[in-house]
Amino acid sequence: MDPLAGWRLDQEPYYQPAGREIEAFEAARASRLPVLLKGPTGCGKTRFVEHMAWRLKVPLVTVACHEDLTAGDLAGRWLLDAQGTRWMDGPLAMAARHGALCYLDELLEARSDTTVLLHPLADTRRALPLERHGELLQAHPDFQLVVSYNPGYQGVHKRLKPSTRQRFVALEFRYPEPTVEAAIVVREGGIDESLARRLVQLAERTRRLQDQGLEEGASTRMLVHAARLVRAGLPPALAARQAIADPLSDDAELLAALNALVCASF
Ligand code: ADP
């Protein structure tokens, strides 16, 4: 039985390239180099990885990192059942053992011990020490490590150490060019192009509010959400408020500024 059968993508995930990132990723893979994706939330990093896994025909194991995620969760654990104790690989060990692409989304959200665990896997050793299992797992030749993080909102304690970042090759993601972003919103949101363009213009205006204290402007993901609300029957101004302005901030002044932008756009 293929232990990674459930992790293969059989349909092409739609991905609209912004530059030469597909070629760059393929070159990294050919050289067995781990990849670091940097960029704001909702700009297409996860979709890109899904697309690449499909394109390269490798299974994809995705882990959404969070503050309680430890190195042990990624490596694996002993389980106790009626037959006794048995070892169960964590997602990282499973991907390394059987040759999958392992995507650690928002790596900086995880506890810092996880990044140290990645070091021997992310350099020429390509090995994962499973201390609790008493095993030094040598990664399968098809295994590849991909991690993402958002340089925009890391606190003082949430920085990627040089010893970690220097093991990776990096691809920087930004929000796509307006025409490309509108094409994504048309395709993903199912709305017409003129409305998609107006949503993109609104997003660009919100991104400028970053100078006035907004943590991050509207992402492509938010535009797709707004488009879907319109498709479900909401008027564009209400959809934009619900999917873009209100989720972006709780600060009264910023909310007023965001709502003014929505009113001016529709
Ligand atoms: P991230 O991982 O950067 O937070 P995602 O990859 O999850 O963001 O993107 C959020 C959504 O935005 C996707 O589900 C998709 O609908 C849309 N999207 C963003 N960029 C692209 C792109 N280049 N091609 C296709 N869809 C995209």
pLDDT digits (tens, 9 = 90+) for 73-83: 999 999 998 88
Q: For the chain, how big is the Rg over CA atoms in Å?
A: 21
The residues, ordered by sequence, that sit 6+ positions from 120 with a Cβ below 8 Å of its Cβ are 126, 127, 128, 129
Residue 209 confidence class, pLDDT cut points 50, 70, 90: very high
Ligand 1 nearest-atom number relative to CA 50: 6
Please give the distance, rounded to the nearest whole angstrom, from the Cα atom of residue 47 to the centre of ligand 1.
5
**Tokens representing 33?**
């180099």
**Alpha-carbon span 166 to 182, nearest angstrom:** 35
Report pLDDT for 160.
86
pLDDT surpassing 90 at residue 239:
yes
Cβ–ligand 1 contact at 153 (below 6 Å): no
Q: By percentage, how much of the chain surpasses pLDDT 90?
A: 86
- What is the whole-number distance in angstroms between the Cα of residue 3 and the centre of ligand 1? 28
- Using alpha carbons, list the distances in angstroms from residue 55 to 51, 101, 204, 221: 6, 12, 31, 22
Pocket test for ligand 1, best of 52, 220, 222, 223 (most atoms within 8 A of CB): 220
Compute the distance from residue 39 Cα to the ligand 1 centre, in Å: 11
pLDDT interval class at 50 (50, 70, 90): very high
- Taking 70 as the threshold, does the pLDDT of residue 207 lie above it? yes
Give residue-wise pLDDT tens across range 129-163.
999 999 999 999 999 999 999 988 666 557 888 99
Residues 50 and 7 sit within 8 Å (Cβ to Cβ): no
Q: What is the mean pLDDT of the chain?
A: 94
Q: Name 240's Cβ contacts closer than 8 Å, sequence gap at least 6.
A: 199, 202, 226, 262, 265, 266
- Cα 66 to ligand 1 centre (Å): 20
Q: What's the distance, Cα to Cα, between the start and end of the chain in Å?
A: 55
b/e for 169-199, b at 16 or more Cβ within 10 A?
A: eebebebbeeebbbbbbbebbebeeebbbbb
Closest ligand 1 atom, residue 37 Cα: 3
pTM of the predicted model as reported, rounded to 2 decimal places: 0.95
* pLDDT tens by residue, 103-127: 999 998 888 889 889 999 999 999 9
Residue 4, pLDDT score:
83
pLDDT at residue 157 in the model: 59
Atom of ligand 1 minimally distant from the CA of 47: 6
* Region 252-260 average pLDDT: 96
Distance of alpha carbon 223 from alpha carbon 181, whole angstroms: 9
pLDDT of residue 113: 85
What phi, psi does 141 have (nearest 5°)? -60, -30
Nearest-CA residue for atom 20 of ligand 1 = 44
- Give the per-residue pLDDT at 95: 97
* Ligand 1 center from residue 213 Cα (angstroms): 24
Closest ligand 1 atom, residue 41 Cα: 4
C-beta 16 within 6 A of ligand 1: yes
CA angle at residue 89 from 85 to 93, to 5 degrees? 155
**How confident is the model at residue 112, as a pLDDT?**
83
- Cβ of residue 46 lying under 6 Å from some atom of ligand 1: yes
Q: Is ipTM over 0.90?
A: yes
Paired with 36 in beta bridges are 147, 170
